[in-house]
Amino acid sequence: MKPAGLALLILGTAACAGGLYKWVDESGKVHYSDSPPLQSQQQGVAELSKQGAVTKPAESPAARQAREAAEAAQKQRDAQQLENTRRDNALVESYANLQQLQAERAKQQAVLQSALDALQQRGRGLALQIQGIQQDIAQSQRNKQPPPQNSQRNLNVLQAEQRDLAKQIVVKQQELAAFRQKTQSDLNRYRQLRGG
């Protein structure tokens, strides 16, 4: 039997079974089977329909990786678009007009600013306490007397608190800056969505 006749016979047999796979091995020989090859093929494996038409072209591992990466990127873009639409709808449905949005965001910003101000006020208080203890220690040293009892321990505790507070202030400043940026972005988006 000729190779073309053999291929048609295999196609006919596989069509009855439900599917067919075609691949070219490393030596260039074409294979047809009703099940995929056990080993990965360099040029990939094509899937054929019952009629012998290619339903899924053969892909090399590199081509498959590129396709999967493109599909993943598209899926991420679709998810981002969906999230943007959700945010737009929430923005428009939550505020009747631009002034209402501005007023609400101003209240929220005032709360954040108040929290930052409180942290900074605490920082100034700590600085004064530390300065007082340091002056007491220095005065004792000038007078050649022992420092006040527990002064060094208290100084260490206050300095540790001051370092921790400095970190909290930085975080709160970043939070406030991010909120201001988001507010401006939301105001601009609201104007676009409302057409003005």
Answer whether residue 16 shows pLDDT above 80: no
Q: Is 45 helix (H, G, I), strand (E, B) or coil?
A: strand
Start-to-end CA distance of the chain, whole Å, equals 77
Answer whether residue 12 shows pLDDT above 60: no
Query: Residue 13, Cα to own-chain centre: how many angstroms?
Result: 50
Quick one: pLDDT band at residue 172, thresholds 50, 70, 90? very high
Answer whether residue 9 shows pLDDT above 80: no
Residue 18 has what pLDDT?
Answer: 59
Query: Residue 189, Cα to own-chain centre: how many angstroms?
Result: 22
Give the Cα separation of 120 and 117 in Å (integer): 5
Residue 2 has what pLDDT?
Answer: 52
Residue 15 has what pLDDT?
Answer: 43
Lookup result for tokens 């993943």:
72
Which residues have CB under 8 Å from 126's CB, separation 6+? 158, 161, 162, 165
Give the Cα separation of 122 and 141 in Å (integer): 29
Give the Cα separation of 87 and 81 in Å (integer): 10
- What is the percent of the chain where pLDDT is above 90? 60
Query: Residue 179, Cα to own-chain centre: how many angstroms?
Result: 18
As given in the structure block, the two tokens for residue 167 are: 């970190």
List the one residue out of 104, 99, 108, 120 whose CA is nearest residue 165.
Answer: 120
Out of 11-25, 53-67, 85-99, least confident range? 11-25
Average pLDDT across the chain, whole number: 86
Which residues have CB under 8 Å from 101's CB, separation 6+? 91, 94, 95, 186, 187, 190
Q: What is the pTM of this model?
A: 0.61
Quick one: pLDDT band at residue 119, thresholds 50, 70, 90? very high
Region 80-102: what's the mean pLDDT?
94
